[in-house]
């Protein structure tokens, strides 16, 4: 595409519906992400977050309920786990892998890295990777920077170096990209075509924004809207042969009426024939093999011109 640094992260046009193939002729990929962060602010998980009813519920009852529902519906998920969380509950986190789920890194403590110097961010990525590896016995292949409820924006916070550092650290995919609704390449350097695979994320399919206690604004309880959004997107993406993703937080979705919403949705989902339900790593490996960047990332030099009085 006409590449433009600091404007675009990928090529000009997404893959068309008809060009997408899933393994064994499946019709739609289903990626379920469970976010195990309970961070309430940009500093990431702090003691006061741990000493909260939401954390207690999310880590124990809520998580158990979500796991049981996934199991009942024979679904696998990717768990986005902050490194400190993995170290606090090693048996629980190891147990997720034993059940066939994937554990991916969700920062050192799910902190905002957007203003960090490159070396500092690199050190944190390396430390988080090592802490998670210690618990699970295997190196994580996926990284997440999911948003917190209190963030100014609902896309997740990264720095201008994050993607490059994740490539350096050997990560295979980044779990929350917003530029597409199928896996896509996030280019960190145009000249060298350096890129990491991003899996789609969208806040309209993330429970945390529909289940907010209204500190301000119009949050309130909107799990009915969440259900309608999930269903509408699943139906539409299924017809297009594309990709569906949802993001769950046990402390939010595990609660009473919301658990019923999740149950209802998953039983609807599992009735659709020919779904493919990979973990993030399975999906990323399949995509990298089938649609490698070398042949499928179509970058063209910028035709952007700088003018006085205009943005550069």
By the criterion CB under 8 A, which residues form the site for another protein? 1-2, 4, 6-14, 114, 145, 147, 149-158, 160, 176-181, 184, 186, 202-204, 209-210, 212, 214-219, 222, 225, 228-229, 232-233, 235-237, 239-240, 242, 302-305, 307, 309-311
CB count within 10 Å of CB 229 equals: 17
User: Minimal distance in Å, beta carbon 164 to another protein?
Assistant: 12
CB count within 10 Å of CB 263 equals: 14
- Closer to another protein by Cβ: residue 68 or 236: 236
User: Minimal distance in Å, beta carbon 139 to another protein?
Assistant: 25
- Closer to another protein by Cβ: residue 79 or 210: 210
Element (H, E) at 120: helix 118-136
Distance, CA of 189 to chain centre: 22
User: Minimal distance in Å, beta carbon 138 to another protein?
Assistant: 28
User: Minimal distance in Å, beta carbon 62 to another protein?
Assistant: 21
- Closer to another protein by Cβ: residue 102 or 180: 180
- Closer to another protein by Cβ: residue 81 or 198: 198
User: What is the chain's percent helix, strand, coil content, to nearest 5?
Assistant: 40, 15, 45
Determine phi and psi for 140, rounding to 5 degrees: -65, 145
Rounded CA-CA distance 44/40 in Å is 7
> Buried b / exposed e across 41-52, counting CB within 10 Å, b at 16+?
bbebbeeebeee
User: Minimal distance in Å, beta carbon 98 to another protein?
Assistant: 33
User: Minimal distance in Å, beta carbon 215 to another protein?
Assistant: 6
Contact 176, 201 (CB under 8 A): yes
- Closer to another protein by Cβ: residue 137 or 213: 213
- Closer to another protein by Cβ: residue 35 or 180: 180
């Amino acid at each position: 595409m006409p590449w433009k640094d600091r404007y675009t992260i990928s090529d000009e046009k997404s893959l068309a519906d008809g060009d997408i193939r899933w393994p064994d002729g499946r019709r739609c990929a289903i990626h379920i992400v469970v976010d195990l962060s309970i961070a309430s602010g940009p500093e990431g998980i702090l003691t006061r977050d741990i000493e909260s009813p939401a954390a207690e519920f999310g880590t124990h009852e809520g998580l158990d309920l979500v796991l049981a529902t996934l199991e009942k519906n024979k679904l696998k998920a990717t768990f986005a786990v902050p490194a400190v969380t993995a170290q606090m509950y090693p048996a629980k986190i190891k147990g997720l892998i034993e059940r066939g789920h994937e554990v991916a890194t969700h920062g050192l403590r799910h902190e905002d890295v957007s203003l960090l110097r490159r070396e500092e961010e690199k050190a944190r990525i390396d430390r988080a990777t090592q802490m998670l590896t210690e618990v699970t016995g295997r190196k994580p292949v996926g990284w997440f920077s999911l948003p917190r409820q209190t963030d100014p924006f609902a896309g997740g916070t990264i720095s201008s170096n994050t993607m490059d550092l994740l490539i350096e650290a050997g990560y295979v995919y980044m779990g929350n990209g917003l530029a597409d609704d199928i896996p896509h390449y996030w280019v960190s350097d145009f000249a060298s075509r350096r890129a990491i695979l991003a899996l789609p994320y969208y806040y309209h399919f993330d429970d945390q924004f529909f289940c907010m206690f209204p500190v301000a604004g119009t949050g309130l309880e909107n799990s009915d809207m969440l259900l309608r959004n999930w269903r509408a997107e699943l139906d539409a993406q299924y017809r297009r042969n594309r990709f569906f993703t949802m993001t769950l937080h046990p402390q939010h979705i595990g609660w009473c009426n919301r658990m019923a919403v999740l149950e209802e949705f998953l039983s609807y989902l599992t009735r659709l024939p020919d779904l493919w339900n990979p973990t993030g790593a399975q999906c990323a490996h399949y995509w990298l093999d089938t649609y490698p960047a070398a042949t499928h990332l179509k970058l063209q030099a910028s035709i952007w011109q700088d003018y006085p009085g205009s943005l550069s």
